[in-house]
Structure 1
Amino acid sequence: MSTGTRTLTGRLGVGSIVFMVVAAAAPLTVIAGTVPLGLAAGNGAAFPTTFALCMAVLLLFAVGFCAMSRHVPNAGAFYSYVARGLGRAPGLGAAFLALVTYTAVQLAVFGYIGAVIDGLVQHWGGPALPWWLWSVVVLGIVGVLGYRHIELSGKVLGVLLVAEVAIVLVFDAVVVARGETLSTAFLQPSQFVSGSLGIAIMFAIASFIGFEATAVFRDEARDPERTIPRATYTALLVIGVFYTLSAWAVVSAWGDDAAVEAAGADPGNMIVTTITTILGPVGGDIAQVLLMTSLFAAILSFHNVLARYWFALGNARSVPAACGRSHPRHGSPHVASLTQSGIALILLAVFALAGMDPVAQVFAWMAGTATLGVLALMALTCAAVLVFFRRDRPDTRPWNTLIAPALGLAGLLACLWLTVSNFPTLIGGSPALAAGIGAVLVLAFAVGALWSRKPATAPVAA
C-alpha cells in the first residue's frame, strides 16, 4: 500500500495567512468576552492600554521568531523551532505540549459556540437543545473544510473575519464621531497601575493566542521566507491595534466609571448591550450573529493549525506515519485533519456525559489551559532562538538575534508568572483544579521529551 504524498501544497500570500491567524484570535469574541472581564477584574478603564503593552512584548518575541524562520524549513512552528535550538527532546516535548494546548483552546470555543447557537435559536423561537449537539454540527462542518485544500478555508475565514471586524469598526467610528465621553484613562499611568494589573495582563495576553501560528502554514505559503515574517508582524499589529482601539471605544461609549460598573454588573451581555445602544437593535442582532461566526472562524483556524502539527509529527514518525500523508488532490493533511476531528469528538462526548457547563466550565477551563500552554511555548521558543543564533551564528544582527529575543523572553516569563499566580481566577475554579490543569501540561511536555528517546526514522527538524 502506498504511503501517499507527504508534502502540502498551496500559494497562500500574506493576506490569506493573516486572515487565518487573526480569525484564530477571534477579535469580536475578545471584545465581547475579554474586555468586560479586564475592565471589571483588571485595571478598570485603563485596560485598553494593557493590550498595547502585551502587543509590545509579543513584537519583541516576533523579531527573533521571524529571524529564525528562514533557517527552519519545517511547518511545525514551535515544535520545529525548539527542536532546532534546544534539541530533539525539548522539541518533541514542545510538540506534545502544543497539541494539548491548541486542542484545549479549540474545545473552549466549541463549548462557547454551542451555548451561543443555542441562545440564538431560542431567541428566534426555536427549541432548546443540548449545547453539545450544536458543537458537534460545527465540528462536522469544520472537519469537511479541514479535509479540503487550505485555500478554501482561507476564503471562508476571510469573509467571516471581514464581517466581524467591520461591525466593531463601525461601532468604533460612531463612538468617536459622537465624541461625548471619550476616555483618557489609558493616558494616565496612575489609572494603568490601578486595580489588579496582573489580572489585566493575564486576560490581555490570552487574547493574542493564535497570531504565532503563521509558521505552521510555511509549506503552503507562496514565498515562505518573505511571507511568514510579513504575515506574523501584520497579524500581530492588526490584532493589537484593533483590540486597543475597540476596547477604548467601549469604555468611551459608557464613560470611565460607568464602563467599569457595567462590566462588573453583566460582563456576558455588556458588548451586545453597548452595540445595541450605539447602533440600534438591528446592530445588536447582527453582533450576536457575528459573535457566532467569529467563534466558528476561531475553531476552523485552530483546527488547521492542529492538523499541521499532526502532519509534521507524522512526517517525523513521532506519531503514526499516516498522519504525515497529504491528500493527492487537495494537497491537504487529510489524515491529520480527520485525526484531530476524532479527538475533538471524543472529548466533546466526555464533556457532555460529565454534564459540564459549556461556558463556566468547558470554556473557562480550556481557555485557561491554552493561555498557560501558549505562554510556556513562546518562552521556550524565545530561549531556542537565543541558543540557536549564539551557537550556529547564521545571522549576527544583535537586535534580531539577541536583544529583542532576550527582552521578549523576559516579558513572556513575567506574563507566565502572572498567569500562574492568578490561574485560579483565569479558569474560574479552585486552586486544586488549577494545579491539576498545570500538571496535565507538564505531563504532556514530559511525555513528548521521553518519547523522543524512541528511535526515529525521520529527523525532527531539517
Structure 2
Amino acid sequence: MTTADPTALPAASGAVAAPARPARKLTGRLGVGSIVFMVIAAAAPLTVVGGGFPVGALLGDGIGAPTMYLVGGAILLFFAVGLSTMSNYVPRPGAFFTYVGYGLGRPLGLAAAWLAILTYTTVQVAVYGYVGAVMSGYVVSLHGPTLPWFLYSLAMVAIVGLLGYRHIELSGKVLGVFLVCEIGVVLVLAGAVVATGGAEGLSVAPFNPTNVMSGAPALALMFALAGFIGFESTAIYRDEAKDPQKTIPRATYASLIIIAVFYTFASWALVMGIGPSHLMSELAKDPSAFIGTVTARYLGPVGGWIVNTLMITSMFACVLSFHNVITRYQHSMSNASVLPTALGKVHKTHRSPHASSIVQTITAAVLMIAFALFHLDPVLQVFTWFSGISTFAIVVLMGLTCLAVIAYFTAKKIKAGLWKTWIAPVIGFLGLAVVAVIIAQNFPLLIGDADAKGNPVFGTLTVTFLALMAAFPVFGIVQALVIKARKPAAYKNVIDTISTIEE
C-alpha cells in the first residue's frame, strides 16, 4: 500500500517539494563547472584516450573505433534525459539507488545501491592497481629506485583519502587543474597532427560505415562505453550544488557531450597521427605505448615525457573523483537507514562526509594489500578483472534507472512530457540492454578468461566474478525484506522516507 509523503505536493502539480533540511545534510555551492570537472575527471579522459582506445581498437574494429564513442554517447544521451528529469522530481542525492527505489520499489532500490557500491569500488581499485604499476615503471625510467607497485598505490590511497576528508570544493579545484592539463596536452597533440596533415593525410576513414562495422564492433563499443563511467554521478552532488534544479541537469548534459566529443576527436587524431594503414600493426606492438609513440613523433621527447606524467595525474584525478562518489553513496545510504549511522556524519568544519571517507580509504588500502599478498598482477589481473566488473555493473544500473523513470512517472501520473518520461528512457533502455547482452557474451574477455585461441570461456574465474556481481544486489533485496519484517517503521524510511510505487 502506498502512503503519502507529507512534504510532497499533489501529483498533479508535477513536482515534489524539497523536504525539511536534515541534520546530517551535506552543503555547498558547487556550480556546473565544478561538478563537470569532477565528473570528467572520473572519466579520466587521458587514460581513456591513451589506454582504453588503443585496446578497444586492437580488439574491436580498428580504425573505426573512434565512431563508437559517438554511438556510446548517443545511447547515454537518451539515458541522461530520464536521469535529469528524475533529478528534478526526486530532489535527493543518491542517484541510482534513490531513483530505482522511487520507481521500482525499495527492494530493487537497495539492490541498485549495493550494485553501485560494487561498481564504483571496483573501478576505483582497478585504477589504483594500474597507477601503481605505471608509477613504479615511471620512477625507474627516471633512474629512481625499484619499488613494488602496491607501495605507490597505497601512497595514492593516502593522498586521495586526505583530500576526500576535506571540503568537496578543494577536490574540485585539484581536479580542475589536472583536468585542464591532461585535456590541454591532448588538444595540443591533436592540433599538431591536424597542422601537419597527419601521417597519411587527414580523412574521415574512422567514420566510414565499412570500417566501423569491420572486425568486432561490439567489443569496440564495449570499451568505448567503459570510458563514460562516472558521467552519471552528477546527481550524487545534489545537496552540494548551488542551484540543484538547474545545476544537475546542465552538468549531466555538459559532461556527457564534452566527454563524447573529446574522445571522438582525440581518437580520430591518433588514427590520423599514425596513419590508418599502420594503426593495427602499431597497436599490436604495445597498445599501452601507442599514445607515447604518436606524441614523440609530433611533440618530441619532451612531449612524450609530459604525456606520461599526465597519465599519472589523470589516474589520480580519476580515483579522487570516484572516492568522492563512493563516500557520498555511503553517506546517502546511511541516512536511508541501510548503512551504519556513523557513515552519515558530516564534518563540522569541512562539511564533508568524513567518516564515510575514512571507511572508503581503509577499504581501498585493505584491498591493495590483499592484492599484493595474493601476488596479483596490477595490470593484467587487478585492472583487467575489476574494470570488467564495473563496466558490466554500470550498464545494468543505467538500464534499471531507465525502467525506474518510466515506472515512476507512469505511476505518479506526472505530466513532464512524453519525450522525457517515456520515449527517451525507452530508447535508452533498449540501447543499454543490447550493450548488456554484448558484455555478458564477452565478459570472459574483459577479465582474461579465454582459451589458447583467445575465445571467451565461461570458466571458474568468470563464474566466480558473475556470482560476486549477483551477490551484491541480492544482498540489497534481502536486506530490504529483513528490514521490512523486523523494523516496519525503519522500512518506511528507506529511500529517503517517501513511498515508492505500490509493493
* Superposition TM-score tier, normalisation by shorter sequence: over 0.9
Q: Could you tell which deviates more after superposition, 263-272 or 184-193?
A: 184-193
Match of 2:139 among 97, 103, 121: 121
Q: Could you tell which deviates more after superposition, 70-79 or 179-188?
A: 179-188
Structure 2 partner of 1:441: 469
RMSD: 1.1
Structure 1 partner of 2:480: 452
Q: Secondary structure at the match of 1:330?
A: coil
Q: Which amino acid aligns with 1:238?
A: I
* CA deviation map 1:325-365 (0-9, x unaligned): 11111110011111111111111111010000100000000
Would you say the 8 A contact 1:5–1:327 is kept in 2?
no
Would you say the 8 A contact 2:328–2:356 is kept in 1?
yes
Match of 1:175 among 193, 199, 218: 193
1:308-319 map, 5 Å: 308-319=328-339
Distance in structure 2 (CA, Å) of the matches to 1:169 and 1:411: 30
Q: Which amino acid aligns with 2:49?
A: I
Distance in structure 1 (CA, Å) of the matches to 2:356 and 2:25: 12
Would you say the 8 A contact 1:372–1:419 is kept in 2?
yes
Structure 1 partner of 2:285: 265
- Is 1:48 paired with 2:66? yes
Match of 2:253 among 233, 236, 241: 233
Match of 1:159 among 177, 181, 187: 177
Distance in structure 2 (CA, Å) of the matches to 1:423 and 1:459: 33
Structure 1 partner of 2:212: 192
Larger CA Rg, structure 1 vs 2: 2
Aligned length: 459
Structure 1 partner of 2:123: 105
Structure 2 partner of 1:78: 96
Would you say the 8 A contact 2:66–2:207 is kept in 1?
no
Task: Give, in angstroms, the shift of residue 217 of structure 1.
Answer: 0.4
Task: Give, in angstroms, the shift of residue 241 of structure 1.
Answer: 0.3
Structure 1 partner of 2:314: 294
- Is 1:8 paired with 2:43? no
Distance in structure 1 (CA, Å) of the matches to 2:258 and 2:366: 35
Would you say the 8 A contact 2:443–2:462 is kept in 1?
yes
Task: Give, in angstroms, the shift of residue 151 of structure 1.
Answer: 0.2
Q: Which amino acid aligns with 1:322?
A: A
Task: Give, in angstroms, the shift of residue 38 of structure 1.
Answer: 1.7
TM-score normalised over the length of structure 2: 0.90
Match of 1:22 among 28, 35, 40: 40
Q: Which amino acid aligns with 1:142?
A: V
Structure 2 partner of 1:276: 296
Q: Secondary structure at the match of 1:166?
A: helix
Distance in structure 2 (CA, Å) of the matches to 1:398 and 1:260: 45
Q: Which amino acid aligns with 2:437?
A: W
Gaps of 5+ in 1: none
Structure 2 partner of 1:32: 50
Task: Give, in angstroms, the shift of residue 279 of structure 1.
Answer: 0.6
Task: Give, in angstroms, the shift of residue 5 of structure 1.
Answer: 4.5
Task: Give, in angstroms, the shift of residue 255 of structure 1.
Answer: 1.2
Q: Secondary structure at the match of 2:173?
A: helix
1:38-437 map, 5 Å: 38-180=56-198, 181-430=201-450, 431-432=458-459, 433-437=461-465
Distance in structure 2 (CA, Å) of the matches to 1:338 and 1:393: 42
TM-score normalised over the length of structure 1: 0.98
* CA deviation map 1:206-238 (0-9, x unaligned): 110000000010010000010000000000000
Q: Which amino acid aligns with 1:316?
A: A
Distance in structure 1 (CA, Å) of the matches to 2:435 and 2:167: 37
Task: Give, in angstroms, the shift of residue 254 of structure 1.
Answer: 1.2
Gaps of 5+ in 2: 1-21, 451-457, 499-503
Distance in structure 1 (CA, Å) of the matches to 2:319 and 2:194: 32
Distance in structure 2 (CA, Å) of the matches to 1:18 and 1:316: 26
Q: Which amino acid aligns with 1:310?
A: Q
The list of structure 1 runs, each at least 4 consecutive aligned residues, that deviate by more than 4 angstroms after superposition, is none
Q: Which amino acid aligns with 1:282?
A: V
Would you say the 8 A contact 1:183–1:255 is kept in 2?
no
Q: Which amino acid aligns with 1:379?
A: G
Q: Secondary structure at the match of 2:305?
A: helix
What is the percentage of aligned positions where both structures have the same residue? 48
